[in-house]
Structure 1
Amino acid sequence: MYTLYIANKNYSSWSLRPWALLTELGIAFKEQLVPFGAGSNWDEFRQFSPNGKVPCLVDDGLTVWESLSITEFLAERHPGVWPEQSAARAWARSAAAEMHAGFTTLRTQCPMSCGIRVRLHEVGPALKADLARVDELWRDGLDKFGGPFLAGDRFTAVDAFFAPVAFRVQTYGLPLSEASQAYAQHLLQTRALRAWQQQALAEPWREPGHEAACLAYGTLVADLR
């Protein structure tokens, strides 16, 4: 059985992606949660992950790190990770890769925290540009492939890659089109994301660096933890 190393569900957007994919597709795995510590987590995470980061997947002595690599590893072994139809699969891979590599301002100004609600001081030009591109991507996928997921009628890896954005939309009240808001809500109601949020809210850990980062660009409205 796979072992998936992750960090705090409340904060770790990168951990969420393979966790949601495995959970929603019903692929059996063992979760190993190692909470973030103050400062660098290099020494602790290096005990299981070559790059000192999460997520990391281990299978019978084989170690796979980075969420995109984990996804492709799983796709070689399990059906349904990517869409079956070739055009949808190509689009999904491109959109997931763009999410994996981009949207720096969105990540910086709106770090993932499932348990709080924040009112941003402003939505500046750089954040507006990232949100416009998210909105464009989501509407493009929904229009091309009919929804309710980004590449068709089933949850696939591209939805897993944008799952942290759905949580950010919820946490920070991010402005998106009606269609994109509806998609975010649909994603949050999947079995995997409901379970992730429930478990995130129950976590006892509060890491000061992550807590401060979540309020660097906004004001706390509610803490649901």
Structure 2
Amino acid sequence: MYDLYIANKNYSSWSLRPWVLMKELGIAFDEKLVKFGTSNDNFLDFSPTGKVPCLVEDDLTVWDTLAIAEYLAERHDGVWASDVKARAWSRSASAEMHSGFQSLRNEHPMTVGLRIRPSAINEPLMKDILRIDALWRQGLSSFGGPFLAGEKFTAVDAFYCPVAFRFQTYNTPLSVEADAYKNRLLSLPAMQEWQDAALLETWRDAGHEAEAGAVGEWTEDLRAE
């Protein structure tokens, strides 16, 4: 049995990726949630980088979302697309998400339970949004949809699930095709489960709250108090 270490569902975009992948593919695991900003948040106890997510199986520890996806792909069917071209595109798109889109990450942090009207969208942020929109449309048109690599949800979709939550929070304008794909991700059972749990979290991390407060006006706070 795998142990998957994650942090707060409201904030932790990196944690969401392997969590939603394993949930949607039916790969069993024990969830180990360690809260940000608490006295027991010593992630170094289980992660060599002191970061989440981290997958543990017996005496083996796998860290970093790409490494976790590849490890799971060696052991389970369906992590990546079976078609070689779709699989190569998926790995490229996942790697781009893994290493890029810094403006989106910094200026539109994931906060599942809030709805925020941004004060402004600068040029680097708009460039990230437009690139993701184009990338989504490319995958959908190239491989037939309804997911990025074809008929089935795979790792490349999991890598963009946190973006779907961001676009929901900030009501980001998208093309018709990209907006439909965003809503498709948000409607997945695993995404609904993650969102429901995020809304029930009552603990707050000061750093993440400050980041969200700097973005713009909070129009809704759907989280439990």
Which residue in the other structure is 1:220 paired with?
Answer: 218
Please state if 1:206 is matched with 2:208. Answer: no
Deviation at 1:35, TM superposition (A): 0.3
Which residue in the other structure is 1:162 paired with?
Answer: 160
Identity %: 61
8 Å CA contact retained: 2:37, 2:206: no
Secondary structure at the residue paired with 2:218?
Answer: strand
Deviation digits for residues 31-73 of structure 1, max 9, x if unmatched? 00000016x99x7000000000000000011000001100000
Q: Which runs of 5+ in 1 are unaligned?
A: none
8 Å CA contact retained: 2:10, 2:199: yes
2-structure distance, mates of 1:191, 1:93: 24
Q: Give the TM-score normalised by structure 1.
A: 0.97
Which residue in the other structure is 1:176 paired with?
Answer: 174
Secondary structure at the residue paired with 2:90?
Answer: helix
2-structure distance, mates of 1:70, 1:118: 32
**What amino acid sits opposite 2:188 in the alignment?**
T
Q: Give the TM-score normalised by structure 2.
A: 0.97
Q: Which runs of 5+ in 2 are unaligned?
A: none
Deviation at 1:215, TM superposition (A): 2.1
2-structure distance, mates of 1:89, 1:21: 16
Deviation digits for residues 134-173 of structure 1, max 9, x if unmatched? 0110000000011111110110000000000000010001
Please state if 1:104 is matched with 2:67. Answer: no
Moved over 3 A (4+): none
Deviation at 1:99, TM superposition (A): 0.1
**What amino acid sits opposite 2:134 in the alignment?**
E
Deviation at 1:122, TM superposition (A): 1.2
2-structure distance, mates of 1:216, 1:186: 29
Deviation at 1:214, TM superposition (A): 1.1
